[in-house]
Amino acid sequence: MITTTLTTKKPEFREMLSKLNAQQKRLLSPDEVDYLTDCDSFEYLEFKQEDENDDEFLKLFSTWLHERPKHQGHVDYYVLFYLRMGEALTREQFEYMERNVAECFDTSHGWIYEINNRIRFKMRVRLICSYKNKIRRLTRKDWREGVETVENK
């Protein structure tokens, strides 16, 4: 398994999130990108399968997640599985990932995407984590402009 950090800069993080697509459709809406980039810190990592089979690769990914330190605040995370064309995770693989990924984050929301629209020979996983020390429960938006508003005091 090869691990690569895709970005460490917030403007690049925003740009990469807004360019995520499958079959010419955006995976994340502009509001989701804004929400994920309004964070204290973030991670955007990629894992590539080498010589291991699919199950070994998923176990290595899970082991890597369990060995790293846990974040004490709220985490929103996306796990993007880039699979071979026409393939999907088996029920057992999905349940394994559901159990093993979710327990690595204390307070969190997570999503798994299975992307299989290109010819690939090896599996790839991208992990996007947006770390927040405290979660903002309500954000005020102006429906006319779609931007956050700040009240004058």
Give 135-145 pLDDT, tens digit per residue: 777 777 777 76
Range of the domain at 7: 2-134
CATH number where 66 lies = 3.30.1330
**Residue 97, both tokens:** 């990932």
* Global pTM value: 0.81
- With beta carbons less than 8 A apart as the criterion, state whether 113 and 97 touch: no
**Number of domain units in the chain:** 1
- With beta carbons less than 8 A apart as the criterion, state whether 83 and 114 touch: yes
pLDDT tens per residue across span 11-65: 999 999 999 988 888 999 998 999 899 888 999 999 999 999 999 999 999 999 9
Q: Please indicate, yes or no, if residue 151 is contained in any of the structural domains.
A: no
Q: Please indicate, yes or no, if residue 54 is contained in any of the structural domains.
A: yes
Residue 147 confidence (pLDDT): 52
